[in-house]
Chain A
Amino acid sequence: MTMTPLHDAPVTAAASPARARRRRLLAIGRPNPLVYAFLSVVLVGSVFPLYWSLLIGSGDSSTINDPNMSWWPGGNFLANAAAVINNESVNFWRSLGNSVIVSTVVSISVVFFSTLAGYAFAKLRFRAKKGLLIFVIATTAVPTQLGVVPLFIAMSAFGWTGTLGAVIVPALVNAFGVFWMTQYISQALPDELVEAGRVDGANMFQTFWYIGLPSARPAAAMLALFTFITTWTNFFWPFIVLNSNNPTLPVSLATLQANYFVDYSIVLAGVLLATLPLIALFAIAGKQLVAGIMQGAVKG
């Protein structure tokens, strides 16, 4: 994606603050209706899979193969959802609880350790920094499929298989989070602020806590949300290390497909049930997230 370079004067220095303020309204006024039309189209595409899941999940077992499927939800959603919750091998409440525990612990841990490491990579000076950062990024290039066997050997050696620890511990911090926080902090936090903190006599951790962390808030909020979702929907590794006594939601919902013929109305009702907590999280955390982003913007 090469862009045509511009060769005119620096853009930042030109205007006086007063003029800038006067122009602010003009510069970032409300966007025109086309923008909303565009976003609406994007939104329709985004909502489609959930809506389609609802169509199937509120129908019966034949809905999915019905070429004349109605585009309006059927009346069986509650019955299908009840079938999921009451299915003993699904162990719904237990797995819901497990998913909440795993996703919450992993999100908090990933955000904290990634921010810490990201701050160090972005704003502190130490030996071999660049090499170590490249190493962090390179670790994500290891194909995960093959890692399963050695990782299972490791978890088994620790005696963690079958416990939530086997799902939580390997996920406590990841290269993706470290890389993301590094990039964000290096962009959003001016070096002068960090130095000012040091000059004022703050120690390293205080500088991180009072200067680094607040500036990283928007990215941290986003990382938390992404990590929560990724952990919540993760199937393969939990499927390998957990068992049906102590599963997470995707693992237990998979047993709904354990049949010669799979009733997808029940499966998708289960998928929707498992998605509801995420939508609730959106409703709650979404406001925080936007607030966080705005706050970051004001700071910068």
Chain B
Amino acid sequence: MLVSARPLLAHAHKGVTVKLSRRTTAVAAIAGAAAFALIATGCSSGGTTGATASNKPITLTLATFNNFGYNDALLAEYHTLHPNITVVQNKAATSDAAQTNLFTKLAAGSGLGDIEAVDGDWMPKVKQYASKFVDLASTDNKGRYSSWKTAGGTAGGKQIGLGTDIGPEAICYRSDLFAKAGLPTDPAAVAKLLTGDWNTYYSVGATFAAAKTGAAWFDSAGATFQGLSNQYQNFYEKNDGTVIAATNPDVKAAFESVLKASATESSHLSEWSTDWASGMANGAFATMLCPAWMLGVIQGDSPKVSDWKIANVFPNGGGNWGGSYLLVPTQGKHTAEAKALADWITAPAQQIKAFKVAGNFPSQVAAYTNPALTTATNPFFNDAPIGKIFIDRANAVTVTPFKGIKYGAINTAVQNGLTRVETGTQSVSDSWNQVVTDIKALG
């Protein structure tokens, strides 16, 4: 399938591969609380705990994608702590490439990294194979995350994924276009203006559209729907995995209301398309839902635009999109060492370093009091206090969306339905009928 050109589903792509080499009992001790905890709690991760680890130098492979912010300095630091462990990172370009790689090697039963990074978007698919991954729960990482992040990495009664980052969502906007439409431009004023539910967001959009600035209010129905759908606990599936997407009135209502707004307020540029990237540079839309990791995308796609700002607000409270996990496949040879590394590299101190390198917003609650995060600003977004904004946005997330086995396939069917209407291929009702048909075909 070659390298994808434009990043295929570029969101929340990160991949990490760490190779650890060398490990001794002594090293296990140095590894500190993590390894100690393994022994102390007699955790179910398998026989190779620090107690039985040999002196031999070992290499651990850490498979990541996109940019997890794990630079050579960070990996070298681990080597210093554990002289017989060398960590090597295998980077896949995109989340999509990482997904293909992971599933191919899971299917083949070998070849995976000692640690594999998994995107929150396809984590539900991975979770049905919990038996192929090591339980990473330990006393050390207990309470490290907010409950919904922990739930996202838990399957089969085990914590198979340790959270890396999250994607709490705010709203990014173009202050120049707001000024043109006669709307306030100051982030605090914009936040106040947009406080409310999705209808508030759409009705301000209607005002904006009426001003005829030549720009649309938001980028696409699909992106907006994504933000909205992550605010329900059981949107597409019940907790037992029963698919309710076709019958859940919430889904249909959301589908119709987004498309109603889209008719006058959307630029109809599908997320991640070439046109979407160009649209960002050319002022095709004034606002977009903006998870923390989106900042790098906006800056990269429109480096010459100086008017992007961030409003500390999100329709209907809080929402999260994306964020990833590290998993330790049982097929690895050094699962105990890999577990210790995963624990260390997702600890708040290391996550702060990753944030400084790549801007990945920490999922660790303890990081939210770290001055490095609380005082962080972003010059491209007119010195927006991104630390404070996204900590607030993360705290506003209250719902733990249930995403089952078929989440990805259902979401694709619904997103395709939105695209069909936005491109004028089908009417809203025809498109919805096809969504229902497509969902039934998944059975």
Contacts and interface: CB of A to CB of B under 8 A. Distances in A.
A and B in contact, CB less than 8 Å: yes
B297 A88 contact: no
A88 B91 contact: no
Given A88-B72, A89-B91, A153-B109, A257 B3 contact: yes
B174 interface: no
A253 B5 CA distance: 12
Contacts of B89: 89, 244
Contact of A152 (B90, B105, B296): B105
Contacts of A64: 277
A156 B106 CA distance: 12
Contacts of A67: 278, 282
A254 B100 CA distance: 15
Interface residues of A, number: 34
Contacts of B107: 149
Nearest to B282: A67
B303 A61 contact: yes
Contact of A262 (B19, B294, B300, B358): B300
A259 B303 contact: no
A256 B67 CA distance: 10
Nearest to B1: A236
Nearest to B277: A65
Nearest to A233: B2
B223 interface: no
Nearest to B280: A65
B61 A261 contact: no
Contact of A62 (B6, B7, B303): B303
B108 interface: yes
Nearest to B300: A261
A152 B108 contact: yes
B262 interface: no
A113 interface: no
A83 to B, nearest CB: 15
A292 to B, nearest CB: 31
B2 A235 contact: yes
Interface residues of B, number: 52
B431 interface: no
A258 B93 contact: yes
Interface string A139-169: 0000000001100110010000100000000
A117 to B, nearest CB: 29
Contacts of B13: 258, 260
Given A152-B104, A262-B7, A62 B2 contact: no
Q: At the interface, is chain B mostly helix, strand, loop or mixed?
A: mixed
A65 B61 CA distance: 36
Contact of B281 (A66, A243, A253, A255): A66
Contacts of B297: 260-261
Contacts of B1: 235-236
B111 interface: yes
B3 A254 contact: yes
A196 B415 CA distance: 69
B17 A244 contact: yes
B101 interface: yes
A250 B104 CA distance: 19
Nearest to B15: A258
A161 B2 CA distance: 19
A261 B301 contact: yes
Contacts of B67: 258-260
Nearest to B11: A260
A61 B298 CA distance: 12
B93 A257 contact: yes
B65 to A, nearest CB: 6
Given A244-B91, A262-B7, 17 more contacts: A65-B281, A89-B89, A89-B91, A149-B104, A152-B104, A239-B92, A240-B105, A243-B17, A244-B17, A257-B93, A258-B92, A258-B93, A259-B300, A261-B297, A261-B301, A262-B6, A262-B300
7 closest cross-chain pairs (CB), A and B:
A261-B300, A257-B93, A260-B296, A65-B281, A152-B108, A254-B93, A258-B91
